[in-house]
Amino acid sequence: MIKDSGATDPDATEGDTTSEAEIRARRGIDEILARWGIPAITCIAVLAGTILRFWPRSSLWLDEALSVNIAALPLGDLTEALRHDGHPPLYYLLLHVWMKVFGDSDWAVRALSGVISLASLPLAYLAGLRMARRSTAELSNPRRVALIAVAVTATMPFAVRYGAEARMYSLVMLLVLCGYLVVDTLLAVPTTPRLVLPTVCGAFVTALLLWTHYWSMWLLGAVGILALVTLWSRRDGMSDRQVVAGPIAMIISLVVGGLLYLPWVPTMAYQASHTGTPWGESFGPVSVLVLSLVDFAGARFGVAQFFSYILVVFIVCGATVVCRRVTDDPVADGEGAPAEASSPPVESEVTASSGRLAPEVALVVSPGIHPRVRVELGVLLGTLGLGWAAAAASGNTFSSRYASVVFPLFVLVVTAGIAVLRSPRVAAASLVAVCLMGLLGAYGATESDRTQAGAIVDAIAADMSAHPGPAAVVSCPDQLGVSLQREVSKRAELADVTGDVIPYPTAGDPRFVDWVDYGSRNSKVDATEFIEKVRRRVGSSASIYLVASPHYKTFEGQCENLTALFAQGGQAEQLVAQDTSGLDESASLTVIRPG
């Protein structure tokens, strides 16, 4: 065992040939890693994560294209459009302003999420500092912990993907980090007597979260429970106003933030009654947790499944592992508990502030969840539990992107699991492994196509060059028409011939999907009437380019039937097969030429 003095171990056996020079060399490496290892890794991670956030070149898929189309509307039309879509308006307002300044190209509209995602990195640093300072004896240097939090946030596939997608989830993560800092301030002990500013900030963040995504309600519900539990735990000090003022201020913040949300409640109530999530399936509570973890790790990209196992290991470390000092006299550690003689010692740490070796420590598994991440884990699991219960009760589905409301808490727990490793070499190697695996998944998420729309429109253009004449593009279901219309509109020569994409079953505006009473509407569709409407619009001599997928809920069997009906009296030829690799949006392309 390496002693703090730097001398060889007097208890070493004769067979131990480690020289004092070798020991000093190891110490030198530890000193360098302790001072520069984590900062250097973090700088590289931030650089790589920044590049990937602005890297995507694939076409916009349904959710992105729909967001852009809604945000492009005049502000006076935004509320009515969202009544038929099912989301709060804050992100769309920001995107509307952003597009006025930077345009609506694919890269430009995604860049808003990239900028928001990068803005979350300094907040991740502050959150890491707060977590470390609550448990200094366990997590050592707070700056070191904060840098680890930044590196993990910068490279985690979930953060990169939604930092490169024209959706509201990077904004949700940014606001959750803001809220974390407010909650930590209000619930800290002892509470600062100056509570007005954090209370106002808490109300403001609460309102912004509610105006951004509906799953914020379950996060705020979990935070409200936390405030009540904290208030109850301090009941013996109720006579001391300073002790209970923080939890009370937190509850006031939540209530005021909810009042600021009241103007949108009628629209939300209409959406809840008429839109919902008819496109998804129900999930059990364990599935919600597993789906979230796998998506945090990169879903189908890179080494996601293996990476999720590694993240679980660090979560367990962050939640249960305790560092105890190893001394010649096995007395109490920093918290007064006896050191575990049977626990294997880890290598000595070099403190980043002084460059000297810290006392040797051993990693010990505690019997319960350690206080350093008890709040983070409690709110994380409470949010997912409340969200699952609400979805199950209302018949709605769960998508792993909804877990963006707890992703920053997840990152902090993983950060604690890495930071608890005191050896500079082990901690640096662990952080490098997490960042590398994260970047592999992030690269896959940003480099891969999310939709077949671009390839399908390329195939349509090529076929029309070989077979000129009148033509129309039909999408089944209407959800495919949004991204198709965006791709067709980029090619003036193609759009001049085909006109707008005709979505099944409405034959209406292909830029939007009307989710109001979606399932019941689709069950009443007459495919023959739809085909007659299309033929009246484009003529009987036009070729029909039918883009279809059989995998959309509430359309079971309808797109196959539509293809068969169109093909009657014509010549059908499949030009593009449906991609089965797991794209967000995939479809086949069949052309039906007049007989």
For 457-488, give one letter per residue: b (16+ CB within 10 A) or e: bebbbebbeeeeeebbbbbbbbbbbbbbbbbb
- Token pair recorded at residue 524: 């009443």
Higher pLDDT, 496 or 330: 496
234 — pLDDT class (breaks 50, 70, 90): confident
What would the pLDDT profile of 561-592 be if each residue is shown by its tens digit?
999 999 987 899 999 999 988 888 999 999 99
User: Residue 352 carries which side chain, given as an amino acid letter?
Assistant: A
Judge whether residue 345 has pLDDT over 70. Answer: no
What would the pLDDT profile of 153-190 be if each residue is shown by its tens digit?
999 999 999 999 999 999 999 999 999 999 999 988 66
**Mean pLDDT across 509-523:** 93
Q: How far is CA 79 from CA 35, 110, 127, 257, in A?
A: 53, 22, 35, 20
Place of tokens 């350093």: 372
Q: How far is CA 3 from CA 11, 289, 358, in A?
A: 11, 44, 9
**Mean pLDDT across 329-344:** 38
Mean pLDDT of the chain: 86
Q: Identify which of 88-97, 425-434, 578-587 has the greatest average pLDDT.
A: 88-97
The pLDDT value recorded for residue 350 is 42
What would the pLDDT profile of 95-112 be if each residue is shown by its tens digit?
999 999 999 999 999 999
5 — pLDDT class (breaks 50, 70, 90): very low
Angle at 419 between CA 356 and CA 123, to 5 degrees: 110
Judge whether residue 243 has pLDDT over 50. Answer: yes
Give the strand pairing for 471-476 and 502-503: parallel
Judge whether residue 300 has pLDDT over 50. Answer: yes
The pLDDT value recorded for residue 361 is 59
- Token pair recorded at residue 334: 């920093």
Nearest to 313 by CA among 365, 371, 374: 365
Higher pLDDT, 425 or 363: 425
- Token pair recorded at residue 103: 């345009």
What would the pLDDT profile of 372-395 be if each residue is shown by its tens digit?
899 999 999 999 999 999 988 888
Taking a C-beta distance cutoff of 8 angstroms, is the pair 161, 446 a contact? Answer: yes
Report how far residue 336's alpha carbon sits from residue 125's, in angstroms, rounded to the nearest whole number: 30
**Mean pLDDT across 527-553:** 93
DSSP 523-571: HT--HHHHHHHHHHHH-TTSEEEEEE-S--TT-TTHHHHHHHHHHTTEE
What would the pLDDT profile of 52-87 be if each residue is shown by its tens digit?
999 887 899 999 999 999 999 999 999 999 999 999
- Token pair recorded at residue 123: 């907040």
The pLDDT value recorded for residue 338 is 35
The pLDDT value recorded for residue 444 is 86
The pLDDT value recorded for residue 325 is 60
* Lowest mean pLDDT across 274-283, 326-335, 444-453: 326-335
Report how far residue 591's alpha carbon sits from residue 569's, in angstroms, rounded to the nearest whole number: 13
Judge whether residue 329 has pLDDT over 70. Answer: no
Element containing residue 186 per DSSP (H, E): helix 169-187
396 — pLDDT class (breaks 50, 70, 90): confident
Which residues sit opposite 473 in a β-bridge? 545
Give the strand pairing for 321-325 and 361-365: antiparallel
For 42-67, give one letter per residue: b (16+ CB within 10 A) or e: bebbbebbbebbbbbebbbbbbbbbb
* Lowest mean pLDDT across 33-37, 310-314, 486-490, 581-585: 33-37
Judge whether residue 471 has pLDDT over 90. Answer: yes
Domain boundaries, the chain: 22-447, 453-594
**Mean pLDDT across 361-381:** 84
The pLDDT value recorded for residue 465 is 93
The pLDDT value recorded for residue 343 is 37
3-state secondary structure of 144: helix
**Mean pLDDT across 45-53:** 97
Judge whether residue 331 has pLDDT over 60. Answer: no
Taking a C-beta distance cutoff of 8 angstroms, is the pair 72, 153 a contact? Answer: no
Which residues sit opposite 363 in a β-bridge? 323
Which residues neighbour 536 within 8 Å (Cβ) at sequence distance 6 or greater? none
The pLDDT value recorded for residue 17 is 54
CB-based contacts of 490-495 (< 8 A; 24+ apart in sequence): 491/457, 491/461, 494/457, 494/460, 494/461, 494/464
